[in-house]
Amino acid sequence: KFRDKVLCYCDTPSTPDGTEMGRRLKARMEQGFKFLKMDVGIGLLRGIPGALVAPPEMLESRTIMHQFTGIQITDVGIGILCDYVAAVREEIGYEVPLAVDHFGHIGLKSCIRLGQALDKYSLAWYEDMIPWQFADQWRRLSEAVTTPTCTGEDIYLKEPFMPLLEQRAVAVIHPDLATSGGILETKKIGDLAQEHGVAMAMHMAASPICALANVHCAAATENFLVLENHSVDDPGWNELVTGLPNPLIQDGFIAVPEKPGLGFDDINEEAMRARLDPKDPIFFDQPTDYWDREYANDRLWS
């Protein structure tokens, strides 16, 4: 056990105005969060003349890997995104770590140009700029920028992380415990990263049960950096299980539970039933043949 409490970072809904985005992040800091993340990408440039070069229909595509879209950011677009991040930093200052994500499906050269332009804002990491499968491109990106690079939320099991780690292609890996193979496998991923001098942040957008699984893994992994949380604005999230502090995240941290198991007493069945996805309204006590037609939003890359 390396820590008694686990640092959390907080995603925050985006807005096209950098000053307003900074104010939203400042509000997170006032809630106690000490590590922040926001989106900065070509979505902020849609409809702005001269900001993007794009072949027909590529801006609408979500299934073509970044380096195959032909989308490029112009100097105009890079300037707009720099102004956006500058406005955010003006509001929140430079003392708090700020990671950035969702750059859009742009190729390596545009990623390098944009990354170099944003380096001066001392960001915590550039996340998923290109698909994780291209370790050599990640290495080239990491060598070209001074900001840490980060990927890994779509990777299943330890072995696919090896090329990224062996090539020192990223500074931070970002597995999702719920889809990377569970608590032990994610712990192994973190230990492997540590052997290669790489930190481990943890992607997490799920229930308090999953959050606690992540907390125990993070507590036992020395090179752990920070754990994601997507549920700060959801007042019912804490009610899904019983026997936990409410709110679970206090002053930006989750305390490592001392109770047996993951650390909660029981599930709140009524609360869970009320929140079932209408597309998949199946509870634990129902027949398992629904798995024959199960749908998922899992991706091979981001």
| pLDDT one-digit tens code per residue, 86-144 | 999 999 999 999 999 999 999 999 999 999 999 999 999 999 999 999 999 999 999 99
Q: Is residue 300 part of a domain?
A: no
Q: Is residue 31 part of a domain?
A: yes
Lookup result for tokens 């027909």: 56
Q: Is residue 185 part of a domain?
A: yes
**Cβ within 8 Å of residue 186, ≥6 positions away:** 175, 177, 180, 202, 214, 217, 221
- Determine the Cα–Cα distance for residues 50 and 61; give it in Å rounded to an integer: 20
- Determine the Cα–Cα distance for residues 191 and 103; give it in Å rounded to an integer: 29
Q: Provide the pLDDT for residue 111.
A: 97
Q: Provide the pLDDT for residue 272.
A: 84
Q: Provide the pLDDT for residue 211.
A: 96
- Determine the Cα–Cα distance for residues 300 and 68; give it in Å rounded to an integer: 16
- Grouping H, G, I as helix, E, B as strand and the rest as coil, residue 173 is strand
Q: Is residue 295 part of a domain?
A: no
Structural domain boundaries enclosing 20: 5-279
Q: Is residue 288 part of a domain?
A: no
- Determine the Cα–Cα distance for residues 227 and 203; give it in Å rounded to an integer: 6
CA 61 to chain centre: 21
Q: Using an 8 Å Cβ cutoff, are 162 and 135 in contact?
A: no
CATH code at 228?
Answer: 3.20.20.120
Residues in the chain: 302
User: What's the Cα-to-Cα distance from 88 to each of 20, 22, 23, 25, 73, rounded to whole Å?
Assistant: 8, 4, 8, 8, 21
Q: Provide the pLDDT for residue 46.
A: 93
Q: Is residue 20 part of a domain?
A: yes
User: For the CA atoms of the chain, what is the radius of gyration?
Assistant: 20
Total tally of structural domains belonging to the chain = 1
Q: Is residue 72 part of a domain?
A: yes
Residues of the chain with confidence (pLDDT) below 70: 280-281, 284-285, 290-291, 293-298
Q: Is residue 291 part of a domain?
A: no
